[in-house]
Amino acid sequence: MSQPTNPYDNPEYRPQGMSGTKKLLLGLGIGCGVVLLICCGGFGALTYWGANLAKNANLTDPAGIRRVTDEIVTISIPPGFEPNRAMDFVVPFGQGTKKIALYRDTASSGWLKLDQSSGEAATNPGLATMDDTFDAELHREPLTVTKSEDFDTKVNGEQAEFVIEQGTRGEGGEEFWHVAGPFHGKGGPAHLEFEVKRSAFPQDQVLDLLKSMK
């Protein structure tokens, strides 16, 4: 007894598999699509980053400057020192942040600068130049140091050591306090730099400033 004929046994009815050429074209199409997606996504990320950098390139509103300060450290800003400028950069994809806050007091020629870096922002040379822009604004002449001592304290539960210098600046020999040192900020490695006329700021107030850091 003969078996029924299966129509798919006939080559004319057999479904055709995908040829090597079609597979290659499909693969190229998928690959190009992925590349395009990556390129567009990368461009979008760069655009977002650039917009974010531009937006936060120069914060001058007191509330914004105080916010940046509080994200670095809790500190009692001395009387007379007013918020002057801040920067707050966020590197895309959670790669880090760079924050700087500057306070100034024209009456005492004083200024206080706090900065903090985390992640790749701590080693990125482009972001490191932000400090230079702030320093350039201060128009500082070299300080002739006459006395220096260390001051140890704790900031955010971590040991911190600051150098308190006493010296003169300028032709008139005006005496200044200059304080600098690294500490553990709320979001990563941080640094404080402070300068003020000795005649306007007793040493006890310098120590109180450092002790207020939490």
DSSP characters for 119-145?
EGGGT-HHHHTHHHHHHHHHTPPPPEE
DSSP line for 40-103: HHHHHHHHHHHHHHHHTS-B-SHHHHHHHHHHH----PPTT-EEEEEEEEEEGGGTEEEEEEEE
User: What distance in Å separates the CA atoms of residue 122 and residue 88, rounded to the nearest whole number?
Assistant: 13
Per-residue pLDDT of the chain (214 residues; tens, 9 = 90+): 555 555 445 444 444 554 443 443 344 344 444 333 334 444 444 444 454 554 556 799 999 999 999 999 999 999 999 999 999 987 765 567 889 999 999 999 999 999 998 876 555 656 656 666 777 777 677 889 999 999 999 999 999 999 999 999 877 788 999 999 999 999 999 999 999 999 999 999 999 999 999 9
8 A C-beta contact, residue 113 and residue 193: yes
- What pLDDT, on the 0 to 100 scale, is given for residue 97? 84
Residue 50: how many other CB atoms lie within 10 Å: 11
- Res 122: pLDDT: 57
Q: Length of the chain, please?
A: 214
Q: How far apart are CA 81 and CA 58, in angstroms?
A: 19
The answer to whether residues 88 and 99 touch, using CB atoms and an 8 Å cutoff, is: yes
- pTM summary value: 0.71
The domain ranges of the chain are: 17-55, 60-211
Rg (CA), the chain: 31
The values of phi and psi at residue 153, to 5°, are -155, -175
